[in-house]
């Protein structure tokens, strides 16, 4: 029995691709396009120090005591105001990764279907797999009729199998990994499909506020607040070291999330919540966010220009209007998982696109992050990677 | 389908007794023996402020970036040194509640048996239920032969049903809710039983360092590090607002916990970890802990003296050597759940013991916390509660 001590439920889930990607990566000794890390220079250290001191003086011991499972009122109110929703609809999460996990735990039974884009966020796929969900990835099409038909065909197929669709998981803004966004028309189409076929939508939008060009598109949540659960994060607009995010949802759903979160970790980190609330309230967060956007826009533009200049023919990439990533497509037959060891040996890292594809496709794709490294290191890293690719595919 | 949107798996789990207990409780307006809160006066605000400033100066942006899933090396090393184990055996958790949840998730399939004491910690029972574990509570006996036989009989019964015991969940030090501890002989007996019948032990010990009299007893982990998962917490020895704990376990088990934690929340709060590490390293934590112990010892002694003085005949209670709780037993036939509304209306709160009993017994018991309130409020609260009980049971 001791040999069979682990849960059978999560068998395949235990082979973590994420660990495989990062096990040999020392971020300081290689050129890493791999992680989804913000740049540490966007963390306003002296303002954080001041805000922390204010929180200690203003709240005293309360800032270090257990807090409400829903989050401290100050942060819930600040998030509610920022998102334009009633405070009753806000649950603070201990990271938006926890938001993904808790939604899945509350909604999904083994065998239930979750629809996702193809590709989609690896950390979400990993969580879905741990609950033995049946993940169906659907590729995007710029032709909305084709896009809709792909969804309708998948929904029909799932119904024919006698299975339930529990929710559609979607990252509509500057998607991880592709960097691409859904148009308003596409969002409306998906929300209508969800209403017609009676499933929920989990809208994961950690990059939403990192827009470098173009106009903001309304959230899917704003189109149907009763059917969409919206997940937000402080990791990309403030600092990931605080592990704070939020969920906006229907009160009936929040009620289940509440009970689940109680058993997960009782409450989000309390002191960190007061600091985040203070940052929001005082306008420090927005002032800092403007600086981050200017910084990341420059890095995105640099990466796009470098790819244009150095990449061999047959390589294409997305042109994201915001976020932290772009997505490279290499010639048919290229295997980015296999190539990874070679790249790492040469000192450059990325994440193979295959890991983001629930249907196992995407072998000839890779995700590149442009937020983490300095412009100098981005430049050297692209030169190095392009040189390796050139000798591989030409 | 929209009506059936929630997971069936966690059906009964969604009726949370914890919420029922606390929904009408404003901790500042009533006498609360209900929570498991440390006293806010034990949080060393000025030393925390100084440590935070040192962390910002010493680590810079690194303190606000994503961190390792296992925890930051500085805190893992400090915990390893404190617990006398190799650093490879330490996983930092986002609260010891998360430690309970993640162990259950990694080890238990629906229907698997978890052995617990009867009574046991409500938050653990809630987590076990959410994974549809079959919880079997076993009452303590001061006669070790009787105690052993109860376990052997239960193990035989489970085997006869063809079920698997995945682990024994035990709080050996100043148990929640009873306040009582296991002797070394009892610990050895349970570890031997686990080895003979090949199941694991999850040793949850958040109160271990809060000892007010008597000698420390070795952890169950130290008796069999390959078979016992030890869970520790900073919530009672530092501050719960940081949501930090640790798990010590066999590398094979930690490996699964790692993958699971990645999908739960990626990593523990990073800044908070550096502050905790700094508190441990500098000796500030131990200096503060000595003060907390003196404070809580005084409150425990006060509560014991007040119960002796005010409680009506037929009421008995435990005499804990440490921790935050003691446990009251009222005359047979008394219903502490039913009585709770009356107590709350009069302005005094406790937790009904029934909630801690997986077998549904313990209706005539209640848990009383003595760490949270001031001596003055403890005194008034006991007078009030004893008066209510007197008119109820005499």
Where do the structural domains in chain A lie, given as residue ranges?
A: 2-44+286-393, 65-282
pLDDT, position B16: 63
**CB distance B271–A266 less than 8 Å?**
no
Q: Which residues contact A132 (CB under 8 A, 6 or more apart)?
A: A9, A10, A110, A111
pLDDT for A22 = 61
Residue range B253-310, pLDDT digits in tens: 999 999 999 999 999 999 999 999 999 999 999 999 999 999 999 999 999 999 999 9
* pLDDT for residue B116 is more than 80: yes
Question: What number is the ipTM of this complex?
Answer: 0.95
Please identify among residues 80-139 of chain B the ones whose CB lies closer than 8 Å to any CB of chain A.
94-95, 97-98, 101, 105-110, 123, 126-127, 130
Inter-chain touch B266–A272, beta carbons under 8 Å = no
**Looking at chain B from residue 265 to 304, which residues have their Cβ under 8 Å from any Cβ of chain A?**
265-272
pLDDT < 70 positions in chain A = 1-3, 9-28
A37, A45, A56 member nearest B49 (Cβ): A56
Contact by Cβ (8 Å): A102, A257:
yes
Q: For residue A168, give the nearest of A181, A177, A159, A155 by alpha carbon.
A: A155
Looking at residue B29, its pLDDT comes to 82
Residue B2: alpha-carbon gap to chain centroid: 37
Question: What is the distance in angstroms between the Cα of A272 and the nearest Cα belonging to chain B?
Answer: 8
With 90 as the cut, is the pLDDT of residue B8 above it? no
Whether A65-282 and A2-44+286-393 are alike in CATH topology: the answer is: no
pLDDT, mean of residues B221-248: 97
Q: Which of A82, A98, A205 is nearest to A90 (CA)?
A: A82
Q: Do A1 and B40 touch (CB under 8 A)?
A: no
CATH code for the part of the protein at B65-282: 3.40.640.10
Check residue B159 and give its pLDDT.
97
Which tokens hold the place of B164?
Answer: 């698997």
Residue A98 distance to chain B (closest CA, Å): 5
**Residue B89 pLDDT grade (very low, low, confident, very high; cuts 50, 70, 90):** very high
Nearest to A7 among B109, B266, B270 (CB): B109
CATH class in words for A2-44+286-393: alpha beta
Burial class (CB in 10 A: 0-12, 13-18, 19+), A387: middle
Q: What is the pLDDT of residue B394?
A: 78
Are A65 and B95 within 8 A, CB to CB?
Answer: no
Q: Contact A165/B1, CB-based, under 8 Å?
A: yes
Six token digits for residue A181: 């966004």
């Amino acid at each position: 029995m001791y040999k069979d001590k682990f849960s059978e439920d999560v068998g395949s889930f235990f082979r973590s691709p994420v660990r495989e990607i990062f096990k040999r990566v020392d971020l300081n000794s290689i050129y890493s396009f791999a992680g989804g890390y913000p740049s540490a220079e966007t963390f306003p250290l002296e303002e954080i120090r001041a805000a922390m001191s204010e929180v200690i003086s203003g709240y005293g011991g309360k800032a270090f005591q257990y807090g409400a499972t829903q989050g401290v009122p100050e942060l819930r109110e600040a998030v509610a105001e920022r998102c334009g929703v009633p405070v009753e609809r806000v649950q603070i999460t201990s990271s938006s990764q926890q938001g993904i996990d808790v939604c899945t735990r509350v909604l999904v039974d083994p065998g239930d279907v979750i629809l996702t884009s193809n590709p989609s966020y690896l950390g979400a796929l990993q969580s879905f797999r741990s609950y033995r969900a049946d993940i169906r990835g659907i590729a995007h099409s710029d032709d909305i009729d084709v896009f809709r038909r792909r969804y309708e065909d998948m929904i029909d197929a799932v119904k024919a199998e006698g299975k339930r669709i529990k929710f559609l998981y979607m990252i509509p803004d500057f998607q991880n990994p592709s960097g691409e966004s859904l148009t308003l028309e596409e969002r409306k189409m998906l929300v209508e499909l969800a209403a017609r076929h009676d499933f929920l939508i989990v809208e994961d939008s950690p990059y939403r506020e990192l827009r470098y060009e173009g106009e903001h598109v309304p959230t899917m949540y704003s189109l149907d607040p009763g059917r969409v659960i919206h997940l937000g994060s402080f990791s990309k607009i403030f600092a990931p070291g605080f592990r704070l995010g939020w969920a906006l949802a229907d009160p009936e759903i929040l009620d289940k999330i509440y009970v689940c979160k109680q058993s997960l970790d009782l409450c989000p980190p309390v002191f960190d919540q007061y600091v985040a609330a203070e940052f929001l309230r005082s306008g420090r967060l927005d002032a800092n966010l403007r600086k981050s956007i200017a910084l990341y826009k420059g890095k995105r533009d640099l990466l796009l220009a470098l790819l244009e200049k150095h990449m061999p023919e047959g390589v294409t990439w997305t042109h994201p209007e915001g976020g932290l990533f772009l997505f490279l497509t290499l010639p048919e037959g290229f295997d980015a998982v296999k190539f990874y060891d070679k790249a790492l040996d040469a000192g450059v890292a990325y994440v193979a696109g295959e890991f983001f594809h629930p249907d196992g496709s995407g072998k000839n794709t890779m995700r590149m992050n442009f937020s983490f490294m300095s412009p100098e290191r981005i430049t050297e890293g692209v030169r190095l990677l392009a040189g390796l690719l050139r000798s591989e595919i030409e």
